[in-house]
Amino acid sequence: MHSAGTLVKGGTIGSMSTQPPSTDDDQALEADVFARNCESRPVLQNVASRWGVLALVALREGPYRFSALRRRVDGVSERMLSQTLQTLERDGMVHREVLEAIPPRVEYTLTELGAQVAERLESLIVVLETNMDTVREAQASYHRSATPRTQADR
């Protein structure tokens, strides 16, 4: 299990690489989500967004047409789901296929990469859902606390 971060060339996380420093030729191969200009940051943001997580995990169940996916991801607007799916398609997580039918149909499925990401997201969801009692207790304790939070605490 890796700590937070992204795999880099050599199979390590972020700047914890045991490999020698990279050359200019290797720069495109490296990713460190903690680095300000890392290309993986916006992808992580897209995948971990409110609707990105739910769309990816829903697509683990199988192919979905847009309207069915919108019903599955309760609360998402048509516009937000459309934007989310376009972004996930651009990032290589989702495949959009136009099926020849009258009227034309569009189905969304996960790519191999999308399936890997969605599996991990679903594991996170399971951890959260099975520990909601603990979360609620922590929230209640936090709100009962008489100690006001200062700006330095945040």
| Per-residue pLDDT tens digits for 133-148 | 999 999 999 998 866 6
> What tokens appear for 103 in the block?
């009227």
Residue 93's pLDDT is: 98
> What tokens appear for 57 in the block?
């995990």
Say whether 65 sits in a helix, a strand or coil.
strand
Q: Is omega for the bond preceding 63 within 30 degrees of 0, making it cis?
A: no
Q: Which residues pair with 64 in a beta bridge?
A: 108
Asked if the model's pLDDT at residue 25 lies above 80, the reply is no
Mean pLDDT of 122-128: 97
Q: 131-139: long-range contacts at Cβ-Cβ below 8 A with a sequence spacing of 24 or more?
A: none
Residue 27's pLDDT is: 53
- Residue 92 and residue 15: Cα distance in Å, rounded? 25
Mean pLDDT of 99-127: 96
Residue 96: CB atoms within 10 Å? 13
Mean pLDDT of 94-119: 95
Tens-place pLDDT, residues 66-92: 999 999 999 999 999 999 999 999 999
Q: Which domains does the chain have, with CATH numbers?
A: 1-38 (no CATH), 40-140 (1.10.10.10)
Across the chain, what does the average pLDDT equal?
Answer: 84
Distance separating the N- and C-terminal Cα atoms of the chain:
28
Residue 105's pLDDT is: 92
Residue 13's pLDDT is: 46
Residue 119: CB atoms within 10 Å? 13
Rg, the chain, Cα only: 20
Banded pLDDT at 8 (limits 50, 70, 90): very low
User: Who's near 33: CB < 8 A, 6+ residues apart?
Assistant: 4, 5, 6, 14, 40, 41, 44
Banded pLDDT at 30 (limits 50, 70, 90): confident
